[in-house]
Copies of this chain bind each other. A is one copy, B any other.
Amino acid sequence: MKRGERLGDLGEDEVVARLLRGFGTEGLLVGPGDDCAVVDEGRGPLRLLKTDAIIEGVHFLPTAAASQVGWKAVARVISDFAAMGGRPRHVLVTLAVPRDREWTWVAGLYRGIRRCLEKHGAVLAGGETSGLPEGAPAMISVAGEGVAERGKCITRGGGREGDVIGVTGRLGGSIAGRHLTFSPRVAEGGHLAAAGVSAMMDLSDGLAKDLPRLAAASGCGYEIVTEALPRHRGVEAAGALGDGEDYELLFTAPPKVWHALVRGWPEGLAPITAIGRLTKEGGSLEGGWDHFK
């Protein structure tokens, strides 16, 4: 360990990898590093745990509508439950905000939080508020507890060589507003999990950052057909790869499962698109979002 190394030099993945060394994972079916932690108590549904924070100036602008900020803070966590094939039950909200912030901003924030919880059948179980000095960025940290059915909880690590790589919805250009208003893919995640997909995660840092993570967790490489990426209107391939904050689901499925999915995909759910396949090794994508770079 060199003295003087700074987080910005190391990058997020290296920081997280170093932090997790030395921590035990007793009692965890899935530990740190996946979309949620999974606790198996030997009976009943599997229990999912997740925490996620958004920060003013990083994840939202000071000019964003407060209610949309609240929606986003909760929807990001729900998206992580969706990514395991699960659903949320209880959330805790920690708000750190400058003491000179107007009450109307905080009221709007919690309106958005409530709307998102109600839409997804989850309950605010508690939380905390802390005052920050004037000028500090507001931060909203949301911790959630949820459930997934036993045998239908999908991690990032189950993909196998030859599996089809798929995504829900369309990618790119979220900065135009979708990063604040997106719908977590809970129904899609549940359907994919029940159908037997092999690996799944949600796309938060951009496909170029997230697909290598899924492939690495599955011990595979990957190849994608850039032209096949489903893109939002006006988005180039580079945006679909690297803009981030899509909150769509990225998953892999054995070809048989993929074909069954396509044949029986329910109306009303976001569409799915094949974008490539898992390979034995290799793959290189550039772009995406690093929280320390």
- Are A90 and B37 interface neighbours, CB within 8 A? yes
- Are B125 and A90 interface neighbours, CB within 8 A? no
- Are B96 and A129 interface neighbours, CB within 8 A? no
Which residues does chain B contribute within 8 Å of A22, judged by CB atoms?
Answer: 114
Which residues does chain B contribute within 8 Å of A2, judged by CB atoms?
Answer: 103
Segment from A4-12, A60-68, A244-252 that makes contact with B: A4-12
Which residues does chain B contribute within 8 Å of A16, judged by CB atoms?
Answer: 129
**A215 CA to B127 CA, complexed, in Å:** 21
A151 within 8 A of B: no
Residue of B nearest to A133 (CB): B57
- Are B15 and A106 interface neighbours, CB within 8 A? yes
Knowing A94-B141, A141-B53, the reply to whether A5 touches B102 (Cβ < 8 A) is yes
A256 within 8 A of B: no
A52 within 8 A of B: yes
Which residues does chain B contribute within 8 Å of A104, judged by CB atoms?
Answer: 1, 3, 5
Q: With contacts A32-B124, A49-B92 known, what are 5 further pairs, Cβ within 8 A?
A: A7-B98, A24-B123, A50-B126, A51-B93, A58-B131
A-B contacts, 20 of them at CB < 8 A, read A16-B129, A24-B124, A25-B124, A27-B89, A31-B125, A32-B124, A32-B126, A34-B126, A37-B126, A51-B93, A51-B126, A52-B94, A53-B128, A53-B141, A58-B130, A94-B141, A96-B139, A133-B137, A136-B136, A145-B145
A residues neighboring B (CB under 8 Å): 1-8, 10, 12, 15-16, 18-20, 22-28, 31-34, 36-37, 39, 41, 44, 49-53, 55, 57-58, 89-90, 92-94, 96-104, 106-107, 110, 114, 117-118, 123-133, 136-137, 139, 141, 143, 145, 291-293
